[in-house]
Amino acid sequence: MSFEYAPAPESRAVVDLKSSYGLFVDGEFVDGNGHAFKSVSPATEEVLAEISEATEDDVDKAVAAARRAYTRTWSTMPGAERAKYLYRIARIIQERSRELAVLESLDNGKPIRESRDVDIPLVAAYFFYYAGWADKLEYAMPGSAPRGSVPLPLGVAGQVIPWNFPLLMLSWKIAPALAAGNTVVLKPAETTSLTALLFAEICQQADLPPGVVNIVTGAGETGRALVGHPDVDKVAFTGSTEVGKAIGRTVAGTRKSVTLELGGKAANIVFDDAPIDQAVEGIVNGIFFNQGHVCCAGSRLLVQESVYDDVLARLKRRMASLRVGDPLDKNTDVGAINSSEQLSRIRDLSQVGEAEGAERWSPPCELPDRGFWFAPTIFTGVTQAHRIAREEIFGPVLSILTFRTPAEAVEKANNTPYGLSAGVWTDKGSRILWMASQLRAGVVWANTFNRFDPTSPFGGYKESGYGREGGRHGLEAYLAK
């Protein structure tokens, strides 16, 4: 007998999609002066809405609004008052969580299970967490300001976020910035602007003073205008290492402070004494969560040779039970690739993997005809010299390597220009601690992977960026030293 799960689609009715969206500047929705662009559902290629592109002029207005709000209201408001707004926003996010989750899945292609159970609850959690800090800033960086005085905000923050966790990345940027007393101009990614614009509506609903949060939509040009704007005091970016480097060059020599959270090629390291069934879950969660569109994805699996066959067999069996398809179906595990550009990149690099001699495997799975899809894929026989072991693929593609000793695992894990995250699977506590001290990665997960929490700092070594987001450390990036 086989257990077929009947379609269990989450209703779209909860989302009120407009045909076109403008920018959010100074508390109001306004039309941008650039060309309108389309936001499509990656699962069906259906056009969801047209969105205004912000020109340099629009960005200028948004920064001016943020400056006014900073000077006149937000930076002088007592922290406890700012906290009330943040708590209110957090509560509205919880109240409207279903709407936000459905819209996120529609626009981004991620499964509703993830947007409902991971993204949106975390978004609310980040706002709640930083709301709590707003009136306690003197304890955020002990010793940095004279006793009894409150550390000062930086001013206007220009923030550019990626398309993989649209609303979650917004919360990582906006919540600490606002708690510390800064105002923000945020640019969402051009393929996933819709939840940021719904967030703007939530700001209105929460009676947030105009200009404290401004959203400018658009692609690279808009981002450049924002990052390069002379009246921006602080630049925060999450995205590719390539763009991060360009931003680094733009702001070099200016007074702007910068945090960059860039790419990764994380090693997920499985020792022979690992809790094997949970390790296999962790491998799957590490690379197939959010279609592998995760900067800290465990895209390089390092397995101790003595358990390689066993782990591989279990991994393949587990992958065969992954359900790929309609992101709005509540039983979907792996959704759609966010854009055709990203899909081409994943395809290209996978072909390179085959051409370089690695063995490619995917479970049998039917992909929809329309939309952007890529089956969960693993490569075996991969070595450090393969491009698929070195370059960030940012898709559901896992490169599997082996090691013999802990020292070799560390050496291979660190042999990358990136250093965002790593995972260690072993029953031995002392080995976890030793590995964590050796790995050059901002986050080291032990017997788990891709777990996030507002109290925990997150950020990279080497070309994965600098600065930390989350936790007390995340506030430092928005306070004057």
Partner 1 sequence: MATPVLTSTDALRDAVSTPAALRRFLHGLPGVDQVGCEARVATLSSRSIKTTSKQWALDLAISMIDLTTLEGQDTLGKVRALCAKGRRPDPADPTCPPVAAICVYPDMVVTAKEGLDGSGVQVASVATAFPSGRATLDIKLQDTRAAVADGADEIDMVIDRGAFLSGSYQQVFDEIVAVKQACGRPGGDSAHLKVIMETGELATYDNVRRASWLSMLAGADFIKTSTGKVQPAATMPVTLIMLEAVRDFREATGRMVGVKPAGGISTAKDAIKYLVMVNETAGDDWLDPHWFRFGASRLLNDLLMQRTKMTTGRYSGPDYFTLD
Q: Which residues bind partner 1 (CB under 8 A)?
A: 1-8, 113, 117, 272-279, 281-282, 306-307, 309-310, 313, 321, 330-331, 427, 447-448
* Distance (Å, whole) CA 344 – CA 52: 26
Active-site annotation holds for 261: yes
**Number of other residues whose CB lies within 10 A of the CB of residue 436:** 15
203 given a catalytic annotation? no
* Contact yes or no for 56/28 (Cβ under 8 A): no
Q: Report yes or no: 223 and 187 within 8 Å, Cβ to Cβ.
A: yes
Q: How far is the CB of 439 from partner 1 (least distance, A)?
A: 20
Q: Is 371 exposed, middle or buried (0-12, 13-18, 19+ CB in 10 A)?
A: buried
Element (H, E) at 235: strand 234-238
Shortest CB 259 distance to partner 1, Å: 30
Q: What angle do CA 426, 428, 431 make, to 5 degrees?
A: 85
The residue among 254 and 306 lying less far from partner 1, judged by its C-beta, is: 306
Q: Which is nearer to partner 1, 245 or 404 (CB)?
A: 404
Nearer to partner 1, 156 or 283 (CB): 283
Residue 111: CB partners within 8 Å, gap ≥ 6? 105, 327, 329, 332, 333, 334, 335
Q: Which residues pair with 205 in a beta bridge?
A: none
Task: Closer to partner 1 by CB, 3 or 253: give it.
Answer: 3
Catalytic: which of 53, 114, 190, 261?
261
* DSSP strands (E only) in 305-432: 359-361, 377-380, 397-403, 421-425
Whichever of 47 and 313 has its CB closer to partner 1, that residue is 313
Joined tokens for residue 288: 């197939």
| Beta-carbon contacts of residue 392 (< 8 Å; ≥ 6 apart) | 240, 241, 263, 264, 265, 295, 299, 418
Task: Please say which residue, 27 or 376, places its beta carbon nearer to partner 1.
Answer: 376
Least CB distance to partner 1 at residue 456 (A): 15
Choose the catalytic residue: 10, 114, 203, 295. 295
* Distance in angstroms (rounded) separating the CA atoms of residues 237 and 470: 14
Active site residues: 261, 295
